[in-house]
Amino acid sequence: MPERTVTIASATGLHARPAKLFVEAATRQGVPVTIRLGEGRAVPANSMLSVLTLGATHGSEVTLHAEGPGAEAALDELATLLATDLDA
């Protein structure tokens, strides 16, 4: 089960525009992806409401998990996205 732990780079965290861009990218992956904040409950990465309810702020560490063919590539793309300041 591939996982990636990433620090949120966006100044506003996973809120508004950064969350929208992340959810859109997660939806395009073609494999199920979940995201969790710290030791919290994992939520579907393709759900805007679920991602917003995480409350991930700038500097928070989140863990991405994916399963199936292409999971590693999906996690690489999503981790790179979260490690970028999407507010810029």
What's the confidence (pLDDT) of residue 40? 95
Q: What angle do CA 58, 61, 65 make, to 5 degrees?
A: 130
pTM, 2 dp: 0.94
- Amino acid identity for residue 8 in this structure: I
- Look at residue 32 and tell me if it is in a domain: yes
- Look at residue 37 and tell me if it is in a domain: yes
Number of helices (H), then strands (E), in the chain: 3, 4
- Look at residue 7 and tell me if it is in a domain: yes
- Domain CATH number, residue 20: 3.30.1340.10
Q: What percent of the chain has pLDDT over 70?
A: 100
Residue among 8, 14, 15, 71 flagged as catalytic: 15
- Look at residue 33 and tell me if it is in a domain: yes
Task: Tally the domains of the chain.
Answer: 1
> Is 15 an annotated catalytic residue?
yes
- Look at residue 88 and tell me if it is in a domain: no
pLDDT greater than 90 at residue 62: yes
- Look at residue 19 and tell me if it is in a domain: yes
Question: What domain range is 32 assigned to?
Answer: 3-82
